[in-house]
Chains A and B, each alone.
Chain A
Amino acid sequence: MTDQELAEFVRSTLIKVAPDLESEVFAPDKDFREQFEIDSMDMLNFIVALHQATGIDIPERDYNKLVSLSGCVAYLRAKGYGQ
């Protein structure tokens, strides 16, 4: 997967748990919690969805690496996802 494909995968995973963000434009490096008022429940649901889609186990201490598209892409790459 290219970085762009990975970013699209992350975006679509987030939209699955927050369908109201469907047509929003995501700034790649921006914290999406701030950009879209994602609260802790949305965030946890998003991480659960990422885990279920990729099989990667994500410890709680890593959650703050997963708050932007680019952060998620870097994290998934580091875990060997999409090679």
Chain B
Amino acid sequence: MIEFRMPSLGADMDAGTLVEWLKKPGDPVRHGDIMAVVETQKGAIEIEVFDDGVLDQILTKPGEKVPVGHVIATIRGADEPPGEGPLPVGAPPPPPTAASAMPPASKVTPPPPVECPTRQISVTPAARHRAAELGIDLGQIEPGPDGIIGLDQIEAAKRPPPPEPERKPAGISFEEMRKAIAAAMAKSHREIPHYYVSSTIDVSLLMGWLEAENERRSLPARLLYAVPLIRALALALAETPELNGHYIDGRFLPATHVNMGIAVAMRGGGLIAPAIAKVEALTMDAMMDKLRDLVGRVRSGRLRSSELSEGTVTFSNLGEDTADEVLPIIYPPQVAIIGCGKIAKRPWVSEGSLVVRRTLTVSVAGDHRVSDGRRAARFLSRFEQLLKSPEAL
């Protein structure tokens, strides 16, 4: 029997609330299938399975919040005969109609967990403090599914959930998202000895090439300038293993592919950086399609768990009409993040003359436990060199 666990949802999220199962016991499942939808601090995430087999039992019901790593279902391997494990007679799956209409967890009293060996109630120190602050009687509070009264439970008891502001995808609380971002960034700031290296580069040639290219293309096939930037970054990163991978438990694990997290601002506030896998193998057209799809799913709240946990490096592109440069903070357990300011016309010295050029300031934040500024400087030179021949990208 294979245990299907709540997958990692990235450094800033440690739990998820089950919203809806998309498979029911008895359904065949294949590597890459979407099993369920989980609500997180950054919106709804589709969780995928990485085994083949048959869904045996569902152990977590819609509305339940479980930590990353918790077993939420069991899967029978393709060659395992049915009936080896207990059959799900006593626990029929919830009807899909009820599941899809499920409100966010904070609005429901969590149903008793299916699997919870101990029912000892404990209160986190933060929750105790907050409850005292608000004058809430802890005895009146229903603990979470894990038997713990945490800040979530206190906040839920404090007031009826406010009507959802209209400008956000359903289910996202910006307050919660800010907490998630703060937790990951505080960890990064605390643990990662950052260094910064940046270069301002002339991208007139690149932009000229892109304008001619887009002029030639039909509207739906046009490219954003972020696409050649990502392409060049991917190629340069593939040659710079020290900036691409994870630092876990005191060890650097270089990645075999470049899975680039793309920082996407969420309207109304907040940020998420889902990854596009193996960018080094994508043509610019394929990259544009992936980017369009990714931004669309950030907006509609339909990212996949693998996109949040498998990034090996992050790219933060401020975009048009923003600021000159950005000095970003590494998203753990990654070891580098690359930031680009806006492209603007600026004075530039070319062959001894002062000229006007479109330039871009690119910054790399690296992890000193893994690399030094010199390595990042070489990476930036390579990036600049690649952008000088955009037609070859």
Contact = CB atoms under 8 A, between A and B. Distances in A.
Interface string B288-328: 00011001100110000000000000000001110000000
A60 B208 CA distance: 12
A23 B166 contact: yes
Contact of A37 (B169, B268, B296, B320): B268
Q: Is the interface of A mostly helix, strand, loop or mixed?
A: helix
Interface string B179-211: 000000000000000000000000000000001
A40 B167 contact: no
Interface string B219-250: 11010101000000000000000000000000
Contacts of A33: 321
A60 B224 contact: no
Contacts of A37: 265, 267-268
B382 interface: no
A23 B211 CA distance: 35
A7 interface: no
B168 interface: yes
Contacts of A58: 219
Contacts of B295: 39, 41-42
Interface string A30-56: 000100110111101101100110000
A57 B219 contact: yes
Given A18-B299, A20-B299, A41 B292 contact: yes
B151 to A, nearest CB: 27
Contacts of B226: 40
A21 B167 contact: yes
A22 B166 contact: yes
B292 A51 contact: no
A57 to B, nearest CB: 7
Interface of B: 166-169, 211, 214-215, 219-220, 222, 224, 226, 264-265, 267-268, 291-292, 295-296, 299-300, 319-321
3 pairs of A and B residues whose beta carbons are closest in the complex:
A41-B295, A51-B219, A37-B267
